[in-house]
Structure 1
Amino acid sequence: MNRPWVDGNRVELLINGEQYYPRVFDAMAAAREEILLETFIIFDDKVGQQLQRVLIDAARRGVRVEVVADGYGSADLPEAFVSALTDAGVSFHAFDPQPRLAGMRTNLFRRLHRKIVVIDAERAFIGGINYSADHLGDYGPMAKQDYAVEVTGPVVAQVHAASRRLLAPVLEPPSDVRPVTAPAGNTTAVLIERDNRLRSTDIEARYLQALRSARQRVVVANAYFFPGYRLLRELRNAARRGVQVSLILQGQPDMRWVRALSRLLYNYLLRDGVRIHEYCQRPLHGKVALVDDDWATVGSSNLDPLSLSFNLEANLFIRDPAFNHQLGEHLETLASEHCKPVTLQRMVRGYWWRAPLIFVCFHVIRHFPRIAGWFPAHRQRLHSLQPQVQAPGDLHEGNT
C-alpha cells in the first residue's frame, strides 16, 4: 500500500484481442532496445505464432527480448515453438514448471498470472489478455471478453521495475535501459502487485480502500468472483449506505463451477441492494472495476482465492475522470444489452438446499488467507531455456 500514485501519464483502454494484439505487436515491432514480456498463457495458434514472429524479428535486429511464461498455463507449448525463439536470441523463461502426474499438470497454485509487456522502458501494457486465439471474436461462442491498457508516462518506471525484479535472477547481464519519466498525459496511476512475499494483500487492500470511500457508484466486472469476506462485506456496506453497486459476472462461463460458486454468494449481496448482472454473450475474462467518477482498475487479478491469496498478479489503478467515464459507458452497455439481471426472488427459489453450502462457503472464505498459509511454501523459480547447441530437439535447462 506504500507505493505512490504518479501523475503525468497517458492510459488507453484496449478491449479484447481485436484492439490489444495490433497495438502490442506494433509496439514490439518498433522496439529499439528491450522487450520484457510476462504472461500466463502462450498457445501455438495464430496469435501465439504472430507473437513468435514479432519477437524473433526484434531479437534478430538486436533488441533484448526477455519472455516469462507460466509453467502451468503454458505447459502445452511445443518444444519447437520455444526453440525457434531461443535460437533467434530470445531469452525464454518458464515460471516454476513441474513434471506431470499421470499426464495431469500438478502445479495449480501460486502461478505467474500477471500479463505485462514493457517496451524500451517507455511504454507498457497491463491487463488480463493472454496470447491465444480465444481472445478474438472469430474464435466463436467461447471467445473471451477481456481488457488491457496501454500506458506511457512516469508510471511505466514502476512497471519496468516490477518486471526486472521478477527477472533479476536470470537477467545476465543486468538491464541498463533507463525508464523514460517525462509526462505524457493527465492521468494519475499506480501499479500494484500481489506476490507471496512482501505484497500478499496489496491488490485486495486497494479495492477495500476504494470501496470504503465510495459515495456514488461501484461497478465490478470480474470473471472469477469468489472474494474474501472483507470484500463481500464492503460491497454490501457500500450498497447499504446508498451507493449504487453493480456486479457483472459470468453468465456463460468457460468453467461451470465458477458460476456455481459465485451464485452461492448472491443472496448475501442481493438482500442489501447489490445489483448483479450475468454476462451471457461470451465468457467474461475481464478483471476491471470503477468507483465513483474518477477511480478505476484494469489488470490480471480476479476476485477469487487463487488471485487474492496465491498467484502473482498485477493491476494498474487509475485516477482519471475521462478514463472512468469511458470504461463506465462500456460496462453500462454490457450490462444493459448483453447481461441477464439476477433477482433476489429468483435466487430464493431452492434456497433451503443451498443454505448449508452458503454457510460453509462464508466461513471458508472468511478464513481463507490463514488457510492459504497451510499450503507448501512456494519458490519463485525461473527455468531458462537455452538455444540448441548440441543434439537437435534437445532443450537444455538452467535452474535459478
Structure 2
Amino acid sequence: MIGQWHEGHRVELLENGEEYYPRLFEAIAAAQHEVLLETFILFDDPVGRQFHAAVLAAAQRGAQVQITIDGYGSAWLPEAYTAPLIAAGVRIHVYDPVKTVLGRRTRMFRRLHRKLAVIDRRIAFCGGINLSHDHVRDYGAQSKQDYALQIEGPVVDEIRRLMLETTTPPVRRQWRWRRRRQAGAASEPPRQAGDALAALVVRDNARHRADIERIYRVGVRAARHEIIIANAYFFPGYRLLRDLRRAARRGVRVRLILQGNPDMRWVQWAANTLHDYLLRGGVHIYEYCERPMHAKVAVIDGDWATVGSSNLDPLSLFLNLEANLVVRSRPLADALRASLERLMQHHCRRILPEDARRRTLLRQLLSYVAYHATRRLPAFAGWLPAHAPKHTTLPAPGTTAATEPPAAPTGD
C-alpha cells in the first residue's frame, strides 16, 4: 500500500545528472522485458537524445516501453523525436496536453510532476531530475543541483503499480489485473535486496492530498538531534513552519538550504518573507549560491531521508502529482548528509538573524498578504473553469491521437 514501510531494499543516492543519467541509461540498456518512465520534462537535447537511443534499442529488442510525459513540462517535444519511438512500439502518453496562446503554455496547474522509472520490475529510480541537459554541469552556470535514488526491493512493485494506474482509465478497471499480469509476465516481482526500510509517499488529487507534507511533519516532530532540508521552492504551510521552530526550540539543530541563485526570482522573494519568523525561532538558513537549487530532499537524525519530486510549496503540496521515497538507512542518510554539508560549507551563504529584514508594520502586512495569497493559490485555481485532465497516447504519424478519460486516482 502507498505510504507503508517495506523491508529489504538496496538504495543508492545519485547526485545530479552526472550520476543519474548513466545509471538510468545502463538499466534501460539491460532491460529485457519492460521499461516504464514518467517525467515532467523530456527535451530533445543531448540528454533527451541519449534517452531516445536507449529506449529505442530496448523496444527494438522486444521490451515493452511506456513513457508518460507532462503536457505542460514537455509541451514542445517534436514529432521527429517521437515518431521513431512510436514506430518501434513505444507507447508515449501525454498527461493533460496543453495549448499555447501567443507562445505561452496554458493550464499550469495540477501537473504530473513526478520523475519515476521502473525497469524489468527489478530496479526503480525516483527523484527530482528531469530528462534535460540542464541537469549536468556542462550546460553552464544555470545547470541545476538535484538528487535521485536508485532502489531495488519490494517498493519497486509499488512504484510500478502507481505508474500503471496513472495511465489506466477508470472504465477499464476490470482489466487492470490482466494488463499488469501481461505487462510483467516475463519478469519476476522484486524480492528483498538489502536491509533498508522504504516507503513510497505520493500526493494526488484524490486519496493522498496531503501525504507528503504529513510525512515531513512526522519526521520533523520525531527529530531528536538534527534536521537538514534542501528544497528548491520553499513556501510550506504554517503547521510545518511551526514544527520546524518547535524542533529548534527543543534543541534540534535545524538547517534549511534554500535558493540563492534562483531560476525564478519570485521564488527567492517568497522564501525571504519567512526568514525572520524562522530565524527568530532558532532555525539556521543557508542560501545555495553556486547555481540554481532544484533539490527536494531531507535527512533527519542520521537514519531518515527523503528524496523525490515534491517541493515544499503550494504547487507541489496542493496541486501536482508528486512522488517521494522515504528511507530508513544510515548509509543513505550519511551519503545525503555529507553532500548537503559540502554544499553548506563551500557553496552557500548563511543568513544570519541580523541579515533578515526587520518585521516593520508595513513589512508584516505585505508578508501576511503575500503568504496567505500564495498559500490559497490552490483554492484560487479551483475557482477557474474546471477541466478533467486527460491522457493522450501519441499516435503513429498520419493517424488520430487516442484520448483517454481521466486517470483513476493514484494509489492502492
Distance 1:324 1:376, change over 3 A: farther
Distance 1:257 1:363, change over 3 A: closer
Deviations 1:223-270 (A, max 9, x none): 011111111111111111111110000101111111011101111100
Alignment of 1:1-400 (within 5 A): 3-169=3-169, 174-176=179-181, 177=184, 180-348=189-357, 351=360, 353-364=362-373, 373-375=382-384, 377=386, 379-388=388-397, 394=398, 396-400=400-404
* Runs of at least 5 residues in structure 1 that lack an aligned partner in the other structure: 389-393
- Corresponding letter in the other structure for 2:268: R
Distance 1:239 1:373, change over 3 A: farther
2:371, 2:132 → 1: CA distance?
35
2:332, 2:99 → 1: CA distance?
44
Deviations 1:124-150 (A, max 9, x none): 000000010000001111000010000
1:296, 1:84 → 2: CA distance?
39
1:368, 1:213 → 2: CA distance?
30
- Corresponding letter in the other structure for 2:224: R
State the SS of the aligned residue for 2:151.
strand
Q: How much has 1:370 moved relative to structure 2?
A: 5.3
1:165, 1:241 → 2: CA distance?
42
Deviations 1:307-337 (A, max 9, x none): 0000000000000111111111111111111
State the SS of the aligned residue for 1:206.
helix
Is the Cα–Cα contact under 8 Å of residues 232 and 258 in structure 2 kept in the other structure?
yes
- Corresponding letter in the other structure for 1:312: L
Distance 1:62 1:256, change over 3 A: same
* Runs of at least 5 residues in structure 2 that lack an aligned partner in the other structure: 405-412
Q: How much has 1:66 moved relative to structure 2?
A: 0.4
Q: How much has 1:368 moved relative to structure 2?
A: 5.9
Q: How much has 1:380 moved relative to structure 2?
A: 3.7
- Corresponding letter in the other structure for 2:215: R
Q: TM-score, normalised by structure 1?
A: 0.94
Q: How much has 1:151 moved relative to structure 2?
A: 0.4
1:105, 1:337 → 2: CA distance?
38
- Corresponding letter in the other structure for 1:285: H
1:332, 1:243 → 2: CA distance?
16
Q: TM-score, normalised by structure 2?
A: 0.92
2:56, 2:202 → 1: CA distance?
29
Is the Cα–Cα contact under 8 Å of residues 229 and 362 in structure 1 kept in the other structure?
no
- Corresponding letter in the other structure for 1:306: L
Residue correspondences, number? 395
Q: How much has 1:367 moved relative to structure 2?
A: 5.4
Is the Cα–Cα contact under 8 Å of residues 113 and 313 in structure 1 kept in the other structure?
yes
Q: How much has 1:371 moved relative to structure 2?
A: 5.2
2:202, 2:2 → 1: CA distance?
12
Residue identity (%): 50
Q: How much has 1:364 moved relative to structure 2?
A: 3.8
- Corresponding letter in the other structure for 2:19: Q
Deviations 1:14-64 (A, max 9, x none): 000000000000100110111110000011100001111111111111100
Is the Cα–Cα contact under 8 Å of residues 229 and 366 in structure 1 kept in the other structure?
no
- Corresponding letter in the other structure for 1:206: I
Distance 1:6 1:107, change over 3 A: same
Is the Cα–Cα contact under 8 Å of residues 228 and 365 in structure 1 kept in the other structure?
no
2:347, 2:341 → 1: CA distance?
10
2:105, 2:19 → 1: CA distance?
32
- Corresponding letter in the other structure for 1:213: A
1:209, 1:167 → 2: CA distance?
31
Is the Cα–Cα contact under 8 Å of residues 229 and 365 in structure 1 kept in the other structure?
no
Q: How much has 1:302 moved relative to structure 2?
A: 0.3
